[in-house]
Amino acid sequence: MVHDPRSPETLVRAARSAGVTDARLLEAVRTIPRADFVPDDEVDAAYWDSPLPLPCGQTTTQPSLVAMMVSALDLAGDERVLEIGTGYGWQTALLARLAGRVVSVERRPELVAQARRRLAAHGFGAVEVILGDGTLGAPHAAPYDGVIVCAAFPEVPEPLVEQLRIGGRLVQPVGPGGQELVELYERRPEGLEPVRTLVSARFVRLYGAHGYDEGRS
């Protein structure tokens, strides 16, 4: 049987190859069409396991890496999750399928509008997509059981640590932007404790009050 590279099964296989075993997450990858969460001129490439360009100089995360990062949160179904960097919302949709509540913060109005529209079209209208500075988090819905950061900075912004409950998990690419280590942390009473490094990857920079200053290179 010839495999169709335009099929979501391509992404399911890529996620499995990356070590993802969570059946609920794999089913979400299979049934939430990535093609509906990429720019119209990138639809033909939606089921390749590769990042794709977004407006505003942004890039989607590679699907297998998305699955790996989401899997690391170890979601059971009723958690409250904070996502930093919504993009067009595919990862947001995966989180919404797996968790009880998702709050996503995106700093670019064009991406907020796209994500809200695309999420609502697939029945994820209850997901809260906020226009704002992701490094400040979203304190109105804290504490969170999981935090996932989709841009790189050499350290975890302190507001995100403060909004994570004790025992909660946080995933973030740690580095200058361009080549970093994706790290998994767990919050302890004394602060964040490293759990493990997931993978080496390339991410855009995290901008904001507790990240990079966009006015500087």
Question: Could you give the CA distance from residue 59 to residue 91 in angstroms, rounded to a whole number?
Answer: 13
Question: 9-201: what CATH class?
Answer: alpha beta
Give the pLDDT of residue 191: 93
Residue 178: the pLDDT is 78
Measure the CA–CA gap between 63 and 11, rounded to whole angstroms.
7
Q: Which pLDDT value is given to residue 171? A: 98
d(CA 139, CA 142): 5
This prediction has a pTM of 0.95
- Model pLDDT, residue 177: 76
Measured between alpha carbons, how far is 158 from 11 in angstroms, rounded to an integer?
34
pLDDT in tens, the chain (217 residues): 444 567 999 999 999 999 999 999 999 999 999 999 999 999 999 999 999 999 999 999 999 999 999 999 999 999 999 999 999 999 999 999 999 999 999 999 999 999 999 999 999 989 999 999 999 999 999 999 999 999 999 999 999 999 999 999 999 999 987 789 999 999 999 999 999 999 999 999 999 999 999 875 4
Task: Name 121's Cβ contacts closer than 8 Å, sequence gap at least 6.
Answer: 36
Closest C-alpha to 149, from 171, 128, 180: 171
Are 176 and 204 contacting, i.e. CB atoms less than 8 angstroms apart? no
Say what the pLDDT of residue 216 is.
59
Assigned token pair, 152: 């790189």
Domains of the chain, by residue range, sit at 9-201
R_g of the chain, CA atoms, integer Å: 16
